[in-house]
Structure 1
Amino acid sequence: MEYFPLFCRLQGKRCLLVGGGDVAERKARLLLAAGADLYVGALDFSPAFQHWAQQGELTLLDGHFDPRWLKNCWLVVAATNDNNINQQVADTAEAQQIFCNLVDAPEQASAIMPSIIDRSPLMVAVSSGGSAPVLARLLREKLEAMLPQHLGQLAQFAGKLRARVKTEFHSMGQRRHFWERFFKSDRLAQTLANGDNPRAQQITETLFNAAPEAPGEVALVGAGPGDAGLLTLKGLQQIQQADVIVYDRLVSDDILNLVRRDAERVFVGKRAGYHCVPQDQINQLLLEQAQRGKRVVRLKGGDPFIFGRGGEELEVLAQHKIPFSVVPGITAASGCAAYSGIPLTHRDHAQSVRLVTGHLQKEGKLGWQKLAAEQQTLVFYMGLAQATEIQRQLLTHGMRADMPVALVENGTSARQRVVTGTLAQLGELSQQVISPSLIIVGSVVSLRETLRWF
């Protein structure tokens, strides 16, 4: 995060704008709208500045930039057409520990002004850190079209109810449940938009009277193989509504950054040969949190129903009549193969796919004869430690030694690395990657050089 997003109150606070032209006008309008005590310094001023000064809305400082102009300032904006002057203003502000915005020079600025969607008191700001201002403007235009004008009225009305909600609902879950119903009420929003405040009060009283205890529930959410862009929309909605997030080590930091900030996070990571929290304790944790009325999300890498033991967790919840839901995710086989340029099926290479757990000793005997058959793709999950045994069994049961294989490390993430070779080399190749890694065996791997894009 190059810039920390911050909304600050400028009402009645002295701010300095250096520049008197068209660009400075745009900055002045924003500062005046925020109620700043605005001083503007320049050699020449546009008619707009002269009008504002005559109306007593700002103070003009006529002349070359003078460092004394910064006295008692909270914010400085340099918006002249002379880069040297702008830099002088920025250096002076930096020395006095005052935030400074530089027009057209974000790399030297200590503060930037984002594109704004104003639904006061609701404000949405979009910034590219100065790297792509046109992109920020295009996003702002899209958001302007999406966000109804009455959102400001709804937010203002909600602000008047906060103290009452805090008094009537003692737990955070109850309050959140009420507010979700409040903001999702189409009748309330439309009534406020029409200016019918008595009717809005009636609807609000109905919401207060009908607000039940926040029910405990568990959502089993597949986080996908790593890339946050592969998280489903429904999965995103669930993790942003959760009171408690229970997650494993295959959930990427990019995904966790999307979790609501005040949600409790519980790490129950697992890796081969080591369980931070045993599975029965995870089951009990989900049950206990839900019984406390919490909205719990069990966040799993990949898809929770493919070697994720999600079924076991839901069985415990079902026995205790805890409401639950499942949000599937893109499984590691699909995501890692796609990001590696390896189609799992292909008319000329494979007519089926087999997803196989690599925990060979714990999961019992596998049908190696069928796994070694031609015209299929094998994907081994958690198989890195057993790679040599996988190689031996497949060769013993008739798979050809030159069958292409790929090992995908940290699949779909920015750290993804793919090592390819043949089945005869699998044990050796497994020493070149680290966990988490996926093993793909099949002639489809030979298409990687043609189809790879990552």
Structure 2
Amino acid sequence: MAWFPFFVSLEGASGLLVGGGRVALRKVEKLLSYGPHLTVIAPDICPELEQLATTSPVTLQRRPFEEYDLDQELIFVIAATGDRELNHRIAQLCRQRRILVNVVDDLQACDFLFPALVQRGRLSVGISTGGASPSAAIWLKEAIERLLPENFAGLLDRLANRRAAQKAEWEDAAGREAAFRREFQQELAASGQESSPHTAGRVALVGAGCGKADLITLRGLRLLNQCKAVVYDDLIDAELLQQVPSHAQRVYVGKRSGRQGVTQEEINQLLIDLAQKDGLVVRLKGGDPFVFGRGGEEILALQQAGVDFEVVPGISSAIAIPAEAGIPVTHRAMSRSLHIITAHTLPGEQPDFRRYGALDGTLVFLMGLQRLSEIAQGLMDGGMDGSTPVAVISGGNAPHCAAVRAPLSGIASAARQAEIQPPAVIVVGETAALNLTATFKTLPVPIPLFTETDLF
């Protein structure tokens, strides 16, 4: 039998979660935007949940569950301990007290289920198949997300603000409902979504950041969740591709030094062709699209073809890779400027690195490992002291992460001995001597994935 979808206000309500792992974390993340006060009880609590509790109405109690934990005014309890016997005991105790309980991975023990959830401001859509097929629920969730206009939350806010006045204006119910429908259709038309959620194709250039998947922006992640096709580069964290709807087309166009890949002209045309099929195309680029990512060339091609586009910034490797190695690219009283330089040139051009030798601040060279000797010699010929600190770093999602530091005069030899491989970032300047490497490693934040556990 199907489960009836009650919609309940959780604003200020008290809820208890027993269990402190990743499953409990995902439950908390789903609930928080609805305003409850949550208590989490577990002997071990994952770091992400601890971090979340510092900025949210979540109370953590690092200890085992006790029966008296239920002797308070609770609206609901979630048993997510990983211990099946303990979960069942919690469920029995809750029923004795008439407290609604959800038991993770145990449909029969649940009084309520977690739906596949679509939320846009005032809109909440909960989808459940009663445990029959979580995959079907996820499929429907993705279809609804594609259907909704991007500004749907604002549309609802505007309608809500005018609703009271309209109710007063119309005495008869039929006229009032007709007025509500007209206003909704007008708002929908104004958003460009009246006939179809995607009346024309569009391309979003999204910077994936430089490294793990959780460095992407929230806007970039949302676009990935909604796209009909993704065109992606080399060194993109595979977890990001898991965020793309299962029906979406995936096209790899990676290029790396020393390997033949898809030409830029072919990529430009591919984006135009995909967009003209209607729907959202995400061009997923490592780092930031406009920092030596050739994003400008792709935008110019889209403009010329009349294709709508947007750009979502990302964390550039020029900043992220040095930071990963403990090098700030600027530092008070040491480096007051940052120069980001590409070692690649147009065919037939010969780079002149001497002109950078007189620059102050920090110099960051991208795509320059194969020309490291030329860069070092050119900088010294241009007046830079051979003792200037230099770091060469291969990091992020590079296949062979490594770093080496040496004076400018010896950096090429040091990089060869360390067997640094591309892609690598070259940092030149006083800050390259700093070592501010993190003293602890934060676990990557799990990007929300809807699993069967999330839907019970």
Q: TM-score range by the shorter chain?
A: 0.5 to 0.7
Does the aligned pair in 1 maintain the 2:203–2:281 contact within 8 Å? yes
Does the aligned pair in 2 maintain the 1:333–1:438 contact within 8 Å? yes
Alignment partner of 1:186 is 2:160: no
Correspondent of 1:231 among 210, 213, 216: 216
Q: What's the CA shift for 1:402? A: 2.0
Give the letter for the 1:273 counterpart.
G
Deviations 1:90-117 (A, max 9, x none): xxxxxxxxxxx8xxxxxxxxx579xx99
Give the letter for the 1:430 counterpart.
A
Q: Which residue of 2 aligns with 1:84?
A: none
Alignment partner of 1:248 is 2:233: yes
Alignment partner of 1:436 is 2:423: yes
Does the aligned pair in 1 maintain the 2:353–2:374 contact within 8 Å? no
Does the aligned pair in 2 maintain the 1:340–1:452 contact within 8 Å? no
Q: What's the CA shift for 1:394? A: 2.2
Q: What's the CA shift for 1:151? A: 2.7
CA 1:407–1:453: 2 relative to 1, 3 Å = farther
Does the aligned pair in 1 maintain the 2:369–2:422 contact within 8 Å? yes
Q: Which residue of 2 aligns with 1:151?
A: 124
Cα distance in structure 2, aligned partners of 1:406 and 1:416: 13
Q: What's the CA shift for 1:403? A: 1.6
Correspondent of 2:409 among 395, 417, 424: 424
CA 1:352–1:365: 2 relative to 1, 3 Å = farther
Alignment partner of 1:211 is 2:162: no
Deviations 1:360-409 (A, max 9, x none): 57473444333112532111111112222222322333322222111121
Which consecutive residues of structure 1, in runs of 5 or more, have no partner in the other structure? 6-20, 32-39, 53-76, 78-100, 102-110, 125-142, 157-172
Aligned with 1:271: secondary structure? coil
Alignment partner of 1:313 is 2:313: no
How many correspondences in the alignment? 337
Length-normalised TM-score, structure 1:
0.59
Does the aligned pair in 2 maintain the 1:227–1:413 contact within 8 Å? no
Q: Which residue of 1 aligns with 2:249?
A: 264
Correspondent of 2:393 among 408, 418, 422: 408
Give the letter for the 1:436 counterpart.
P
Give the letter for the 1:300 counterpart.
K
Aligned with 1:151: secondary structure? strand
Does the aligned pair in 1 maintain the 2:324–2:437 contact within 8 Å? no
Cα distance in structure 1, aligned partners of 2:94 and 2:220: 53
The 10-residue stretch of structure 1 (289-298 or 359-368) with the greater mean CA deviation from structure 2: 359-368
Aligned with 1:297: secondary structure? strand
Cα distance in structure 2, aligned partners of 1:428 and 1:215: 54
CA 1:117–1:354: 2 relative to 1, 3 Å = farther
The 10-residue stretch of structure 1 (204-213 or 434-443) with the greater mean CA deviation from structure 2: 204-213
Q: Which residue of 2 aligns with 1:37?
A: none
Does the aligned pair in 2 maintain the 1:174–1:214 contact within 8 Å? no
Q: What's the CA shift for 1:265? A: 1.1
Correspondent of 1:368 among 346, 353, 356: 353
Does the aligned pair in 2 maintain the 1:341–1:452 contact within 8 Å? no
CA 1:215–1:41: 2 relative to 1, 3 Å = closer
Alignment partner of 1:122 is 2:115: yes
Q: What's the CA shift for 1:177? A: 5.3
CA 1:203–1:367: 2 relative to 1, 3 Å = same
Give the letter for the 1:447 counterpart.
L
Q: What's the CA shift for 1:187? A: 6.5
Aligned with 2:235: secondary structure? coil
Q: What's the CA shift for 1:188? A: 10
CA radius of gyration, larger in: 1
Does the aligned pair in 1 maintain the 2:331–2:431 contact within 8 Å? yes
- With a CA cutoff of 8 Å and minimum separation of 6, indicate the structure with the bigger relative contact order: 2
Q: What's the CA shift for 1:444? A: 1.1
Cα distance in structure 1, aligned partners of 2:243 and 2:88: 43
Cα distance in structure 2, aligned partners of 1:234 and 1:41: 40
Cα distance in structure 1, aligned partners of 2:111 and 2:350: 60
Does the aligned pair in 2 maintain the 1:188–1:203 contact within 8 Å? no
Q: Which residue of 1 aligns with 2:275?
A: 290
Cα distance in structure 2, aligned partners of 1:121 and 1:447: 48
Cα distance in structure 2, aligned partners of 1:337 and 1:155: 44
Length-normalised TM-score, structure 2:
0.59
Deviations 1:241-296 (A, max 9, x none): 21111110032224333333432211000001323211111011001011111311
Q: Which residue of 1 aligns with 2:435?
A: 448
Cα distance in structure 2, aligned partners of 1:304 and 1:429: 31
Give the letter for the 2:194 counterpart.
A
Which consecutive residues of structure 2, in runs of 5 or more, have no partner in the other structure? 1-20, 27-66, 79-86, 129-141, 165-172, 442-456
Does the aligned pair in 2 maintain the 1:269–1:275 contact within 8 Å? no
CA 1:174–1:316: 2 relative to 1, 3 Å = farther
Give the letter for the 1:446 counterpart.
A
CA 1:440–1:112: 2 relative to 1, 3 Å = farther
Does the aligned pair in 1 maintain the 2:159–2:184 contact within 8 Å? no
Cα distance in structure 2, aligned partners of 1:407 and 1:243: 38
Q: What's the CA shift for 1:219? A: 1.1
Matched-pair identity in %: 32
Give the letter for the 1:122 counterpart.
P
Alignment partner of 1:398 is 2:383: yes
Give the letter for the 2:260 counterpart.
H
Q: After the TM superposition, which residues 96-135 of structure 1 pair with which residues of structure 2 at under 5 Å, given as runs? A: 122=115
Q: Which residue of 2 aligns with 1:90?
A: none
